Amino acid sequence: MSDIPRNAVQRTAKLASLPLGVAGRVVGGWGKRLAGHTTDEINAEFSARTAEQLFAVLGQLKGGAMKFGQALSVFEAAVPEEYAAPYREALTKLQTAAPPMPVRTVHRVLAEQLGTAWTKRFVEFDDTPAASASIGQVHRAIWHDGSEVAVKVQYPGADEALQADLRQLLRFSRLFQAIIPGAEVRPLLEELRDRMVEELDYRTEADNQRAFAKAFDGDEQVLVPGVVASAPKVMITRWVDGVPLSAIIREGTPEQRDRAGTLLSEFHFSAPARSGLLHADPHPGNFMLGDDGRLRVIDFGAVARLPEGLPRTLGRMIALALQERSADLLDLLRDEHFVRPGTELLAEDVLAYLSPFVEPLATEEFHFTRSWLQSQAERVGDLRSPDSRTGRSLNLPPQYLLIHRVTLGATGILCQLDAHVPALSIVSRWQPGFDDVDD
């Protein structure tokens, strides 16, 4: 029997408690409103209690539920500030928190994956996990050559748990849509489900990490730890230290915030051109700022394969929006299937919808803030607004979904960091197609 909660009835019951709990709070809110409580007071209490339940349930479940919580955590910057604090605390916990495996289970997995004499490969092995994630936990150890290594061990039954959780969460996508305004939750869940098979085989992740490490070998801005050894359920990499971006978000200096934001942006846009891959798991737990000023990047289980780099069409769209060439922009969107056949749209409405998204590139340096992201979420999330109607008329082709999600997640981190970033110079250097459009 696995040491993680694999029983389908138990898992379903825990996940089902989320919408039931929210429904109960809504009914309670109606009663309090009749008793004279203000809407703001009720909403604040609703947010706090829902966030508390969200973490209580997702935090107990490894696999898909926790991975979904980690993905949502980067969007907390889009939640209105008066309600954000409870979600910020609950969701950011999901970036690294999970109940640890028993030591006997860790040893059993290591023996199954590395052989019964696995202890001889290490000088030292710390049984207490240094970090935990959605489908595995990390232990610090000394490899037989004397170097410090990180040993990632997958939870037994993680594959069944991951698939069961995501199937169940798809049923509750509307609930999470209400919690995180402006985020397309169901496509996010579907895309996470589609990528989970790759993530479950650490040999694939090891190959991804080797490609990134080779592309950034000797880089002055980014450090990707090398891979030492790998098996389907165990991966060993060089150990790296640094200040997690989650800590910088919480208490970093302005210099740390700007440095981390700039390096994260550079990594996001340059990686496809340099490695043919896009790191597709953007949350603060996967990035650290080292003493040498370089960004440490870990966790390469989820990637987008972009052998030609980022799509040239995206660069052309950005340039046309910045130049306010609404007719040309709409023509390009139609040609590239961003507009469904037969849909009637006004070019100026499309420009009005997209222009705020490219605002960070309209100046030499942009200040990414929670208030800016909140304004974008409110603008596209208000069903009564013209921008929302325009957005619902547009289509995101499947090949762009993962890129969109990752870019949105990285932007969420920049806003959490409150960072000043020279986005224009970074994008103009690394985004293909950006210079294809003449003024």
Concatenated DSSP letters of 108-119:
HHHHHHH-TTGG
Domain ranges of the chain: 8-96+161-183, 103-158+197-238, 242-439
Per the CB < 8 A criterion, the answer to whether 94 and 73 are in contact is yes
Give which of 60, 131, 51 is closest to 87, Cα–Cα: 51
Q: SS3 of 281, please? A: coil
Give pTM, 2 decimals.
0.78
Per the CB < 8 A criterion, the answer to whether 275 and 217 are in contact is no
Q: Which are the contacts of 9, defined by CB distance < 8 A and separation ≥ 6?
A: none
Q: SS3 of 400, please? A: helix
Specify the pLDDT at position 367. 98
Per the CB < 8 A criterion, the answer to whether 321 and 219 are in contact is no
Amino acid at 50: T
Per the CB < 8 A criterion, the answer to whether 181 and 377 are in contact is yes
Total residues belonging to the chain: 439
Q: How far is the C-alpha of 259 from the C-alpha of 293, rounded, in Å? A: 8
Strands 122-125, 222-223: parallel, antiparallel or unpaired by DSSP? Answer: unpaired
Instruction: List helix spans (H) across 59-184.
Output: 64-73, 81-93, 103-114, 158-171, 173-179
Amino acid at 365: E
Which secondary structure element, helix H or strand E, spans residue 149, and what is its range? strand 148-154
Give me the numbers of helices (H) and strands (E) for the chain, helices first please: 18, 14
Per the CB < 8 A criterion, the answer to whether 153 and 233 are in contact is yes
- What is the greatest pairwise CA distance in the chain? 70
Q: Which are the contacts of 135, defined by CB distance < 8 A and separation ≥ 6?
A: 62, 63, 67, 154, 155, 158, 162, 199, 200, 301
Tokens representing 195 are: 């990528």
Q: How far is the C-alpha of 379 from the C-alpha of 382, rounded, in Å? A: 6
Give 103-158+197-238's CATH code, choosing from 3.30.70.580, 3.30.200.20, 3.40.50.1000, 2.60.40.10.
3.30.200.20
Q: SS3 of 350, please? A: helix
- Residue 287's DSSP bridge partners are 297
Residue for token digits 């806003």? 415
Give which of 303, 301, 290 is closest to 239, Cα–Cα: 290
Positions in the chain whose pLDDT score sits under 50: 1-9, 11-47, 55, 59-62, 95, 179-183
In this structure, the number of other CB atoms found within 10 A of the CB of residue 172 comes to 18
The DSSP annotation for 299-318 comes to --SSEEE-TT-S-HHHHHHH
**How far is C-alpha 354 from the chain's CA centre?**
22
Per the CB < 8 A criterion, the answer to whether 101 and 151 are in contact is no
| Angle between helix 398-417 and helix 370-381 axes, rounded to 10 deg | 140
- φ, ψ at 280 (rounded to 5°): -110, 25
Per the CB < 8 A criterion, the answer to whether 153 and 137 are in contact is yes
Give which of 333, 353, 357, 356 is closest to 343, Cα–Cα: 333
Per the CB < 8 A criterion, the answer to whether 277 and 208 are in contact is yes
Specify the pLDDT at position 2. 45
